[in-house]
Chains A and B, each alone.
Chain A
Amino acid sequence: MMIQWLWITALHVAPKWLESLVEQLFAALPVWLTSNLTPTDATDFIVWPLLQIGVMLLIVLTVVAYLTLAERKVSAWIQVRVGPNRTGPLGLLQPAADGIKLLIKEDVIPFKADKVVFTLAPIISMVCAFIVLAVLPYGPHYASITNINIGLLFILSVSSVGVLGIILGGWASNSKYPLLGALRSSAQMVSYEAAIGLTIVSALIFTRTFSMQGIVEAQRSLGVWFILFLFPSFIVFLVSAVAETNRAPFDLAEAESELVGGFHTEYSGFRFSIFFIAEYTNMVVVSAIAATLYLGGWYVPGMDWVAAQLPAAYREAALTLMGVTAFSIKCGAILYLFIWMRWTFPRYRYDQLMELGWKWLMPAALANIVLTATIFILGKELGLVRSVKGVLEMAWQGKVFFTVAGFLSLFPILALLNAINRNSRSFNLRAQRTTIPLSTRKVKLSPGVKPA
């Protein structure tokens, strides 16, 4: 309890203290240097964001480092092993040891590689993964770096540039396995970006905004999480998200049993670890988007009530603290799900992945847009929902209506998918696959034949 109060006080006091510090600094600087800026502007637009960015980078890098440890620990529990436990207590220093190892390793650039692109590729991957962190709503007020009105579009566009890193890395290696990995990756990204984009559209019908903070606020003002209204969309998003982050069962671009290392076969040392960091950062980003869009972001029903019980001075700081905690827990849960999936499922094949993307997720997302829109208009006509200055208002009847309709819309979507997949040809046109039904087969037991 003591520590929490200390935190709340610190969060509350820090901005004010910072402001006075900048004011003192301005008094000391020559006038021509500061003539176009007021001390408040400088704090708001330069000092405070830089501070936030620094803190955020530190936190995220630590989280990413420990995500690798979590991945190894969770996989160990799933596989009845112990996992890393030698470096530090409970293996807690393992990420540091890994980082140091990768840093001091020889940095090999293959003889025939395109050196410039080879160097550039991991940087593109990491930069794109990190830029997105700027618009994520970690919590209210000071806990998020910036809140731009096209946040969601920004994330989508930047993360599609991130794929370029993988493609370029595979291409520049001038080697066959990385090339195949890069090709797979590009095809995969094209199909899954589309599915993600489309499934987000149905969420936008309820959020009415692209701004990440706005999405959270929309859920806060309604007092519900959008997963209730948008369950089919959430599932499509989750599956596409796993594919988007190149993780098992969709880790085709780096399928180690087929393509050795896929796009990063030729990478070693710290360049490899940059790809690695980018991959895990993307995991964090994708889970943050899922948490924001469908699980209320930093909002938990009842948190406003709790904050209202506190003295007014601490209210905002307490809200921030609760928000950040809730957001971390939600992201952690989704990340755990990702790890769990990776260590449970075998790997899809290339054409099966395409099939899943174009014949399951894409139609599901499209059908969901139509259904959600229809449901929304129906709700509007019934007077269950009103839009006041871009913000939705609805009573409990409206919430119940949209929740029930959201879950019921699963059935028409499944019926559609069934129809599509029963009547269409396999993507693998020249496949050996015949019409063997995917039912459980059994072997015959024979007592054995003796030759005459």
Chain B
Amino acid sequence: MHTAIPLVTHHSETLFDAEEMVLSMGPQHPSTHGVLRVILKLDGERVVDLDCDIGYLHRGAEKIFENRLYPMIAPYFDRLDYIAAVSNGLLYVETVEKAMGIEVPPRAQYLRVILTELNRLSSHLLWLATHALDIGGFTVFLYAFREREEILKIFENFFGARLTCHAFRIGGMTYDAYPEFEAQVRAFCDLFPKRLEEYETLLNENRIWLGRTVGIGVISAEDAISLGLTGAPLRGSGVDYDVRKASPYECYADLDFDIPIGENGDTFDRYLVRMEEMRQSRRIILQALDRLPDGPVLGKVPKVIRVPAGEVYHSVEGPKGELGLYLVSDGGTKPYRLRMRPASFINLAALRKMAIGSLVSDVVAVIGSLDIVLGEIDR
């Protein structure tokens, strides 16, 4: 991202008179999770240097925001991180609510939390699936997709969409939950721990899996902080930071849950952290369902949304890390500037530090463990 690698080979100072090979991995590659292009400089199979080339999915989203009315912007957010559309939507509506000082009714808050956590589960399941697939565990991929399908069915019933879910509105929710919502979510929560154990049977004590993840892509806590990592890559290194705890939004302050912390900052710890996060998400969902209050789902919102002039920064804990949104308003009906802090983009910056010196196979594993999504990186 910062240092460009010249696309010519030169002799390296090794024992043998070896030439380095520059390999362009992507943008069409099975395991760069979309259209990421990683330029690798290889000495045999060892990565001497690497650089990420991004922007293949750039849609100019932030510029588009400047030309849309506030309510019209929300759907664009579902298309940034298309894996975690609900979290992104939540980020946007909360930022505008924060800027305007709108109170969200409690029922809407709880519903939002349930849906966001369900979305975190589906995003983590997709991560697990693709991460396992990158390392060669094809069966885990399909097992995880089986559970993700259950969540997507609930989403389809709720939002009318499976991927670009959109029901959050500035001030609350567009509509209330459908009648069987609670029963379906509970059924899923009952089923889920067994399925999690199933994946862990396949992976946790598997020698090959351990060999491929333990000690791979290590990043220290200091490096993780200085690179600005968030989410599982940060917590895997042992830093206790989660936006849901550090600056609680919605009703997270009322809910009881733990933050999993790793120790070694390697791929295996990031894997463990995400697996435990799924358990905690389930815990949050069950608590929120128990406490789900009655009442309206939409607060008092003016007909025309005008954000008072000024600047607001708000962040939520997305499945990939801290999602931030910086809103500059000139008091009009359109934002003056809307800048996003995409978690994947900043986490991807750690790839260079993590992967140099490892093998090609490890690059793939590390990209998988960073859990990036190119829609969010390129915007």
Contact = CB atoms under 8 A, between A and B. Distances in A.
A440 B215 contact: no
B214 A345 contact: no
Interface stretch (A44-52, A250-258, A374-382): A250-258
Interface in A402-452: 428, 430-434, 436, 438, 440-451
A445 B259 CA distance: 6
Given A80-B143, A433-B214, A433-B215, A260 B29 contact: yes
A257 B32 CA distance: 9
Contacts of A346: 132, 135-137, 203, 206, 208-209, 212
Interface string A323-366: 00000000000000000000111111111100000000000000
Contacts of B310: none
Contacts of B273: 443
A194 to B, nearest CB: 21
Nearest to B29: A260
A346 B360 CA distance: 16
A73 to B, nearest CB: 14
Given A433-B216, A449-B245, A449-B246, A349 B137 contact: no
Contacts of A450: 245-246
A436 B267 CA distance: 13
Contacts of B261: 443-446
A79 interface: yes
Contacts of B138: 75, 79, 343
B191 to A, nearest CB: 14
B139 interface: yes
B211 A348 contact: yes
A90 interface: no
A249 B276 contact: no
Interface stretch (B64-72, B112-120, B236-244, B284-292): B236-244
A180 interface: yes
B215 A257 contact: no
B45 interface: yes
A101 interface: no
Interface string B104-127: 000000000000000000000000
A249 B30 CA distance: 18
B46 A430 contact: yes
Q: Tell me the interface secondary structure of chain A in the complex.
A: loop
B208 A445 contact: no
B364 interface: yes
B34 to A, nearest CB: 14
A176 interface: yes
B216 A432 contact: yes
Nearest to A177: B23
B157 to A, nearest CB: 23
Contact of B244 (A430, A436, A448): A448
Contacts of B246: 448-451
B333 interface: no
B363 to A, nearest CB: 8
Contacts of B146: 80
A445 B215 contact: no
A380 B258 CA distance: 67
A257 B206 contact: no
A344 B139 contact: yes
Contacts of B276: 443, 445
B260 A432 contact: no
A445 B260 contact: yes
Contacts of A256: 30
26 contacts: A180-B360, A249-B208, A256-B30, A257-B30, A258-B134, A258-B360, A344-B202, A345-B136, A346-B206, A347-B136, A347-B208, A349-B359, A352-B208, A352-B212, A430-B46, A431-B215, A432-B218, A432-B358, A436-B214, A438-B207, A440-B204, A443-B260, A443-B272, A445-B260, A446-B258, A448-B258
Given A176-B23, A438-B211, 7 more contacts: A80-B142, A183-B45, A344-B139, A345-B136, A350-B361, A432-B215, A446-B260
Pairs A-B, 4 closest by C-beta atoms: A347-B136, A448-B245, A433-B215, A445-B258
